[in-house]
Structures are given as C-alpha cells and as structure tokens.
Amino acid sequence: MNEELRLRLLRQLTESPDLSQRELAQRLGLSLGKTNYCLRALIDKGWVKVNNFRNSHNKLAYAYVLTPSGFRAKGSATTEFLRRKQQEFVQLEHEIAELRREVSEGQSASHKAASR
C-alpha cells in the first residue's frame, strides 16, 4: 500500500469508522479484496482496531477505530504528503512559467514571420 492510499484510508476511517468494507472500497475506488488487504495491514501495524457491534438490522457490524499510534501515523503521513505535494506544486509552477515563456516566444516569432 502506498503512502497516499494509506493516508486516504486513515482519513476515511477517522471520518467514518462505521463504514463497511464495501462502502470504504467504493469511497476509495478500490476492490473489496484490496480494501480488506489494506485494512488488515493497518490492523497488523497496530494503527487500527476493530470493534464489533450489532447494527439495527440485527447483523454483526464493525467499527474501524484508529489507535493512538494510528493517529500519530496519520499525522506523519499527512505531513509527508503535504511536503511532497508542495514540492510538486513548486515544480509545476516552474513548468507552467516555462511553457508560458515558450508560447510567448512562439507567438512573437509567428507575428514576425507573418509581417515579412
């Protein structure tokens, strides 16, 4: 599981711990099997614990709750994700400025050629 997926999963579990795996999979755009695999990995790391309860339809349901170490992991992942996105943003700004310069130079060259 990559860092971005881990962060998205931890954020969803923080916001909605009572989501079913199927609902979680739909929100994340993952298969049910991949979602189960990722949840198991977070549980194995001790970042998420599973609480069983009965819902109103008399079926056993689960709540996926972040542990204290899970909250720390989420904080670290958020910080790292933000740092990386800021670097990508700076690079993208540079690329946009370069493209604008090229377009401007290209328009100037085509105006000069048209006036000849």
Between CA 48 and CA 12 the distance in angstroms is 12
On whether the CB atoms of residues 5 and 34 are closer than 8 A, the answer is no
- Domain hosting residue 74, numbered range: 3-114
- The CA distances from residue 93 to 87, 88, 96, 105, in Å, are 10, 9, 5, 18
Q: Measuring CA to CA, which residue among 83, 81, 47, 86 is closest to residue 64?
A: 47
**43 has a pLDDT exceeding 80:** yes
- Compute the average pLDDT of residues 11-21: 92
pLDDT category of residue 62 using cuts at 50, 70 and 90: confident
pLDDT at 105: 87
Residue type, 26: Q
CATH value at residue 74: 1.10.10.10
| Cα–Cα distance measured from residue 93 to residue 88, given in angstroms and rounded to the nearest whole number | 9
pLDDT of 71-110, one tens digit each? 999 999 999 999 999 999 999 999 999 999 999 888 777 7
Q: How many domains does the chain have?
A: 1
